[in-house]
Amino acid sequence: MKKLVLVAALAVVSLNEMNAQESSFLDKVTLEAGYGYNLAFSPDNVDRTDVSGLNTIQLGANYQLNNLWGVRGTYSNTTFKHKDFSNHGVNYNKLTAEATYQVLQAINPQITKFDVMAHAGFGLNFGKSKATDATDAMGNFQIGLKPQYNVSDRVGIFLDGTYIMNFSQNVGYNGYSIPGEDSTTGGYVTGLIGVSIKLGK
């Protein structure tokens, strides 16, 4: 009987510790979803205003290591398509891992209604031409700034401006090969508005 009570007590203690660890992990995790505008910069073989538009969706998760630093993973789907020719363009699926830094917390920890997060990191960008069967697999670097208004302790509304640099880009934003180039360094900007939700308390 004593052994049974001891086993039951140990099981309860272990369960409580597991729940506490899970709660502690979730307290540091924030999920986000955003939608917005993508603007082509380079290569400039097409008029950037002809292929840019409200065609970016992004999902992400951030894990806060401490009050200032965190790590973030994002998936985004971005489409550049010609305003006059629907079959001219390219679609990107991008995966990126970043380091994050809470700028406003570093300046004034007393501010709780607003956050400003700087983020930068590397990832992979997979392009698919809408004009041909061409595909384009690239490494990428991105850097951005994400101001946020905290509606409550768990929910926030944010803006996120990011510059994305593609390494060895082979397909232009119109979906065709870049004239005179086997590959080049490309770049575009996204401006998103979205919602973030903390999973923990």
pLDDT for residue 23: 55
Domain of residue 127: give its range: 29-198
For residue 16, tell me if it sits in a domain. Answer: no
Whole-prediction pTM value?
A: 0.84
pLDDT (tens digit per residue) in 159-175: 999 999 999 999 999 99
Mean pLDDT of the chain: 88
For residue 98, tell me if it sits in a domain. Answer: yes
**Strand, coil or helix: what is 105?**
helix
For residue 24, tell me if it sits in a domain. Answer: no
pLDDT (tens digit per residue) in 16-60: 444 444 558 888 999 999 999 999 998 877 787 889 999 999 999
DSSP state of 111: -
For residues 34 and 57, give the distance between their C-alpha atoms in angstroms, rounded to a whole number.
6
For residue 17, tell me if it sits in a domain. Answer: no
For residue 176, what is the domain's CATH number?
2.40.160.20
For residues 27 and 175, give the distance between their C-alpha atoms in angstroms, rounded to a whole number.
43
The label of the residue with tokens 């640099």 reads 165
pLDDT (tens digit per residue) in 144-200: 999 999 999 999 999 999 999 999 999 999 998 887 777 889 999 999 999 999 998
Where is average pLDDT lowest: 66-75, 128-137, 184-193? 128-137
For residue 105, tell me if it sits in a domain. Answer: yes
For residue 53, tell me if it sits in a domain. Answer: yes
Q: How many domains does the chain have?
A: 1
Instruction: Please give the full DSSP string across 44-57, using - where no structure is assigned.
Output: -SS-HHHH-EEEEE
For residue 164, tell me if it sits in a domain. Answer: yes
For residue 180, tell me if it sits in a domain. Answer: yes
pLDDT for residue 7: 42
